[in-house]
Amino acid sequence: MQFPAAQIALIVKGKIEGDPNTTVNSFGKIEEAKEGQLSFLANPKYEDYLYSTKASVIIVNENFEAKQPVNATLIRVPDAYTAFATLLSKYQEIKQQQLSGIQQPVFIAPTATYGQNVFIGAFAYLGENVVVGNNTKIYPNVYVGDNVTLGENSILHPGVKIYHDCKVGNNVIIHAGTVIGSDGFGFAPQADGSFIKVPQIGNVVIEDNVEIGSNTTIDRATIGSTLIKSGAKLDNLIQIAHNVEVGNSTVIAAQAGISGSTKIGNGVMIGGQAGLAGHLHVADGSKINAQAGLGKSLKTPNTAVTGSPAYEYNKAIRSQSMARNLPELEKRVKELETIIKQLLAERVV
């Protein structure tokens, strides 16, 4: 597929500097792009590559001032990184639109229904009363259990498993190997030390515009719903326990774990390998640093915490700074002790 610079500028609402008829057919990093490729410059530390790259079209920030002549056609936009992401999305959308139809072999229950322009890959399984919206793509080896609803324009990558009764909204992307709706970790301790399983009869509800990375697990609720709200972005290898709520536009990095019934607000950022205890409330806009262990609720919006147990970020940084100075402080204390001993000895004399 060939795309002229003029068409690209129209998509990203940019201004062309150079030949509007320059065409590209793929993307490349600015340091290694070839002729016929589109690249971008957002980070100033890569500016030197702008003058040597072979990329044909480059997206730059509108306030960028070149220090040397540039051979490529430039497209100036308010935010080069966002514009480039928009183009990648459009490119991916075009490729996805080319996928349609039902491969064989598949199993589709007689009561399952699906909309227009869907793709169902080989060895997929759609259970009873499954509903699949228009333009949704189900890749090979996907399991969709009974009574599951999949919205429009969603993508289930290979090996995704969605258990019964769960609901997935529109424009949702779920990457390979992810499990939605497995049982929550619920066991009642008995007097003899054994455990009795507590049946998990709820479901998982994933709202619109959510993306979930590979090999993430989201447990169904004991009663009610585990809820991932609109715009949330989950990385790979995350554990979301039963009855958790993840707020709108919250982002969670890889290997984080959220214990049962914790409620996470809107616009929260959770770093990699962070762990949250159960039944907590995390206020809107909170930031939980990587490897933090959160054991109590964050009630004040926009609070940043770090460490394990987690505590307020600025205080943690000051504490770390003081800890680094402990050897010097110890030295000074010993010197003061020596001086005090000398003074006391002089007084005795």
Q: How far apart (Å, rounded) are the C-alpha atoms in residues 197 and 217?
A: 19
Active site includes 281? Answer: no
Q: How far apart (Å, rounded) are the C-alpha atoms in residues 316 and 222?
A: 37
Strand order in the sheet with 211-212: 101-102, 119-120, 137-138, 155-156, 173-174, 211-212, 233-234, 251-252, 269-270, 287-288, 304-306, 311-312
The β-bridge relationship of strands 73-77 and 15-17 is: antiparallel
* H or E stretch covering 332: helix 326-348
Asked whether the beta carbons of 117 and 134 are under 8 A apart, the reply is: yes
Residue 138's beta-bridge partner residues? 120, 156
Which whole-number Å values give the CA distances from 96 to 1, 270, 305, 318, in the listed order? 14, 30, 40, 50
Catalytic residue among 157, 164, 175, 242: 242
Q: How far apart (Å, rounded) are the C-alpha atoms in residues 25 and 16?
A: 18
Q: Within a 13 Å sphere around the CA of 126, how many CA atoms are in the beta-carbon half?
A: 25
Q: How far apart (Å, rounded) are the C-alpha atoms in residues 55 and 73?
A: 9
Q: How far apart (Å, rounded) are the C-alpha atoms in residues 281 and 196?
A: 28
Nearest CA-CA partner of 14 in 69, 47, 59, 44: 59
- Residue 222 one-letter amino acid: T
What are the residue numbers of the active site?
242
